[in-house]
Amino acid sequence: MGDAMCQVGREEWFINMVGTVQLSRSGAGALAKLAIKAGEIKKGTHESLLYQHKTKPLVFAVWADNNFVRTLSNFHSPSIVQGRMKRRKRNEVTGKREREQSEVDCNEQQVDYCSYYHWIDKGNGQEAKYDLSCESHIHGWPPKLKLRLYNCNTNNTYKYYTVLYNMCHPGQTPMPILNCIHNLTHSNLQRGEEIRQRSYGAPPSATKDITSTTCSDGRKIRSDSARQGFISPTAANGTGQVLAGTPQTPISALSARGLYHQQAAFNKLKRKQPGRNHLSVPVVVTSSGRDCRYDKCPGYIMSRQRKRSYPTKYKCEQCSIDKGIDFWLCHTTKKINGEEIVVDCHTKYHVEKNSFLIGGTQCTPISDLTEEETDPPDNNIDSV
């Protein structure tokens, strides 16, 4: 709230506005600050200072409650009402508040503000449940203000909807506001022209030739692009066959955006380290461990029905990315009868799935806990 906002509300929007205001937001704030510093009013006296604009219908008021409450209005007169507010007065000697409330004097606009503020507070709380957040330091103030106005408009529209629904359908329950927001969002997304689907173009070369041409689907490409024959995958020739060209970017089955970036980072890491293939990576977990996903893990074949005895804190980095879930496999040692035994479900699982080779020879498990037979398997894996 401020002088400018009050004038816009009065002259442009034709809205009566009253609300709290800071001293720096109003021209009368400097005068009120000097009056408070001079001791014209003191806290707890419930006295008021009123400042009216010379030409504009603006009234700045300071009310000495338990703290100084400053309000600004564009439709009130500078008047004091008696007995309209109840407060627990503070004893000047002991400094304690009285047990019972008593009537005090107050300025008129403060009374109206207190009468309607609880409705504003409830409205703000209702809007906050479905707030469209926007980082102001990234996108600036205007988008955040637009989203705020959109939230207010949605909440006000829902209030009109509930009133009209109760008038037309008495005794029935209107649609919840969350369902209304979902329907409104779906309706807004269906408006406008259909979004054209196409793949990304090729990066230009270092010649800095910025001349461009247009392909068959209306997309501009640079003349020094590495793939000049860019044709939309959806563009068809006269025979009804799809023309050959740059293939469209495949849509991943994983919708999570983080998995895409994780896959891209892992592919870049594998290019730098060609031998990085299905490595076992220890992960810090909040519990004592996770269950191994290998079907022949000792934790699965316990004779008695009880909690698995071999949780693991290791997972396969590449399998987790490919499957879209954390893929846990045992890769540790366990103490059996006082002797440390290697439990390597990680290696055994990838050997069965023909996932990797190390040094051109087949990887074989080295633990009796993960392999029941003594002879190596007959199947051989070709080198890759």
CB distance 286 to 311 below 8 Å: no
> pLDDT at residue 239 above 80?
no
pTM over 0.75: no
In 3D, which of 379, 301, 380, 314 has the Cα closest to residue 344? 314
> Using CA atoms, how far apart are residues 325 and 317, in angstroms rounded to an integer?
10
In 3D, which of 117, 28, 18, 116 has the Cα closest to residue 71? 18
B/e letters for 49-72, b = 16+ CB within 10 Å, e = fewer, are: bbbebeeebbbbbbbbbeebbbbb
Pick 13 or 302 by higher pLDDT: 13
The Cα-based distances of 231 to 192, 214, 215, 227 in angstroms read: 25, 10, 6, 10
pLDDT of residue 130: 73
Q: What is the pLDDT of residues 82-125, one digit of tens each?
A: 888 888 888 778 878 888 888 999 999 999 998 888 887 777 77
Pick 12 or 301 by higher pLDDT: 12
Report the length, in residues, of the chain.
384
In 3D, which of 314, 303, 379 has the Cα closest to residue 343? 314
CB distance 3 to 27 below 8 Å: yes
Q: What angle do CA 342, 347, 348 make, to 5 degrees?
A: 90
Rg (CA), the chain: 36
CB atoms within 10 A of CB 303: 5
CB atoms within 10 A of CB 349: 24
CB distance 102 to 149 below 8 Å: no
Residue 244: pLDDT band (50, 70, 90) is: very low
